[in-house]
Structure 1
Amino acid sequence: MTLPVSRRPGADAVPALRWGVLGTGWIAEQFCGALHPHTSQRVAAVGSRSPESAQRAAARLGAESAYGSYAELVAAPEVDVVYVATPHPMHVDNALLAIEAGKHVLVEKPFAVNAEQGRRLAEAAEAAGVFCAEAMWTVFLPKFDVIRQLLDDGALGELTTVVADMGEWFDPGHRIFDPGLAGGAMLDLGTYPVTLATWAFGDATLQTVTGAGTRSGSGVMGQFSAGLDFGGGRLASLSASIEADLPTRATIAGSRGRLDIDRHFYRPGSFTLVRRDGSQERYTEEAVAHAGLFHEALEVARCIGEGLAQTPLRPLAATVDTLSVMDAIRATHGDEFACE
């Protein structure tokens, strides 16, 4: 068997959109930095909370213009689509601001801090008839299109198991330790293994969940582990930590074989298909880290160019379902956010 080839579109196959970036932090820098060398997408404008910070951000992000308020950014006529890159508790309000202005929107993960908020945002986008998606960049990567094809073609047989972890060390002053910003292991890191499980198992519905977590010194949940039963013999074992450097690998297994996804499974990179008879095939992809963020922008451009209000690769219902699973895991060990 020869491994399938990715079907993700090239930069020249999608329209060049004019992006407005709402927020000026680290992830905004990574996103804009990935667009410039790899696509024809334009960073048309950046919005911040003051004209001075907006001007500084525009110079740093390579934006063509700067706006000193979020309201001005979403109203800007030169902006086709808004990328929301603000802290977690602000995602819904900022995305709603763009939607109310009639703009398409890509919302940085997590889409919202819980499923109720995510559902409200999804309903607003659908009612307005604008494109909306969560910037869960993993599912838009070429590697994951190849994996999707293998799963859909039955290369692993009946799926039974997903095992995934994600953990790294952070400076004590990092926002991830801030309770006021919905910090902790779940929203920044846990969203990746949970997304992998819900994405791999497709429309399976969570039946039961067990979990445990421990708090960091700042009060946020520093780590968690969870066992998920999706019914039909489908189980997931997931964990995340902001206090330990975990392997950050993943395995998807079934009755005929398994996929072992290399370290930093959620980024561009490689994996190995191991069949039941022990034979193996290797998929190799350059591990370019966050330089691969441009793939999500290409998918947004493709969908908007084709008049789609959602991407079939990550429908809003799937995003809300993942948030529901995250809510269920948090409930097992009392992980609550002040902004809920």
Structure 2
Amino acid sequence: MSTTALPPPRPIVPGPPLGWGVLAPGGIAGRFVAALHAHTAQRAVAVGSRSTDRAAAFASQHGIDRSYGSADELVSDPGVDVVYVAAPHQAHAPLALQAVAAGKHVLVEKPFATGRDEAKAVVDAARAAGVLVMEAMWTRYLPQLDVVRQLLADGAVGQVDLVTSDFGFQLPFDPSSRMYDPARAGGALLDAGIYPLSFISSVLGSPADVVARGALAPTGVEYKASVLMTYAGHDAHGIATTSTQAAYPVLATVSGSQGRIDVHSPFLAASGVTFTPGGWGRDAAPLTWRDTSHPDLYAAMHHEADALASYVGQGLLESPVHPLSEVVDVIATIDEVRRQLGAPVSPGGA
């Protein structure tokens, strides 16, 4: 590895232009489609919603040709190659299964499902149908995470000892909000905690043991969780924290015997990476790479769409940087954390 600069992020291999269908035209879907159209050759060609008027309004706003008043109509559209599922959490897996049954590739907003068994059902169906399914964990496809992957592959940090990550924000308690509604898979973990858990998983894999502490909202869902994870075969620890009661730093750090990687805040969006050789208390100069390509935070969502198209072009059925087994394991970890906290575990949980 260079002693003067970090390795540059490797470009995503261009994939074929695909026709995208959008299910559930809400705020996150609008940001995704805007990024898709502004920064890629991919195009949203159809949108589906339970409300015909809402679908039509979204189509008009984003220059989409066709709008439908049901998921059935959208997944049946022969011009749709891939379905982007942007519905509320509890609908992710059912809509993904519907799209898979129609022979479409699928990008499912995080969380991939609300429980481990539900996630596994989607994975099994996709493999049986021979279609690609990905979780829209856009963080995995950001250039900065490729810098991190290269540093780890080069052994820059030595033996990994600790991986930490956090994501918390302040959201006043409102029992009518989906964030605090157990019927709509509310709680901090599936909405925010999945980001730090996924980052730690990308470095350390699936934990052998999980210890969780936290607090519950009056509706019973967790609004705070701290998770300590240990791993078979090595002594590294992973620590993830999440909350809907306080604004956290939104950082991710990998500490090892020969150095430390810090992913800048907000680590889950386009930011940057600093590598400090030797670690704290040493005289080695830190090396930094910053992503200045997208002043708009959500514009970087296009990377996950480019990645999916690339994988389709290569004939892959899952993401090589975010395998489906790992997606399922992260959901299983969330199931376990919720059990330990006494929060409701989805019927789709193991």
State whether TM-score is above 0.5: yes
Q: Does 1:289 align with 2:297?
A: yes
Please give the secondary structure, in 1, of the residue aligned with 2:321.
Answer: coil
Distance 1:331 1:44 in 2: 41
TM superposition shift of 1:33: 1.2
TM superposition shift of 1:282: 0.7
**Counterpart amino acid of 2:10?**
R
Please give the secondary structure, in 2, of the residue aligned with 1:73.
Answer: helix
Aligned match of 1:207: 208
**Counterpart amino acid of 1:310?**
E
Distance 2:296 2:256 in 1: 29
> Given the alignment, which residue of 174, 178, 184 partners 1:175?
178
> Percent identical across equivalent pairs?
40
Distance 1:21 1:256 in 2: 45
Give deviations 1:202-231, integer Å, cap 9, x for gaps: 4xx422221111112443211111111113
> Given the alignment, which residue of 331, 334, 343 partners 1:326?
334
Is the CA contact 1:18–1:43 (under 8 Å) kept in the aligned structure 2?
yes
Is the CA contact 1:109–1:136 (under 8 Å) kept in the aligned structure 2?
yes
**Counterpart amino acid of 1:170?**
L
Please give the secondary structure, in 2, of the residue aligned with 1:307.
Answer: coil
Runs (4+) of structure 1 exceeding 6 A deviation are none
> Given the alignment, which residue of 244, 247, 254 partners 2:246?
244
Aligned match of 1:118: 119
Q: CA distance change for structure 1 residues 16 and 252 in 2, over 3 Å: closer, same or farther?
A: same
Please give the secondary structure, in 2, of the residue aligned with 1:197.
Answer: helix
Please give the secondary structure, in 2, of the residue aligned with 1:327.
Answer: helix
Q: CA distance change for structure 1 residues 145 and 338 in 2, over 3 Å: closer, same or farther?
A: closer
Matches within 5 A, 1:73-84: 73-84=74-85
Is the CA contact 1:179–1:337 (under 8 Å) kept in the aligned structure 2?
no
**Counterpart amino acid of 1:9?**
I
Point out where structure 1 has 5 or more consecutive residues left out of the alignment.
none
Matches within 5 A, 1:140-151: 140-151=141-152
Distance 2:161 2:93 in 1: 35
Please give the secondary structure, in 2, of the residue aligned with 1:259.
Answer: strand
Please give the secondary structure, in 2, of the residue aligned with 1:279.
Answer: coil
Distance 1:331 1:157 in 2: 35
Higher mean C-alpha displacement, 216-225 vs 21-30: 216-225
Distance 1:60 1:338 in 2: 35
Please give the secondary structure, in 1, of the residue aligned with 2:34.
Answer: helix
Is the CA contact 1:223–1:240 (under 8 Å) kept in the aligned structure 2?
yes
Aligned match of 1:233: 235
Give deviations 1:146-176, integer Å, cap 9, x for gaps: 1101101100111111111111123546421
TM superposition shift of 1:14: 2.1
Q: Please, what TM-score do these two structures have when normalized by structure 2?
A: 0.92
Aligned match of 2:102: 101
TM superposition shift of 1:337: 4.1
Distance 1:305 1:325 in 2: 32
**Counterpart amino acid of 1:258?**
R
TM superposition shift of 1:190: 0.4
**Counterpart amino acid of 1:302?**
S
Could you say what the CA RMSD is over the residues aligned between the two structures, in angstroms?
Answer: 1.5
TM superposition shift of 1:92: 0.9
Higher mean C-alpha displacement, 217-226 vs 187-196: 217-226
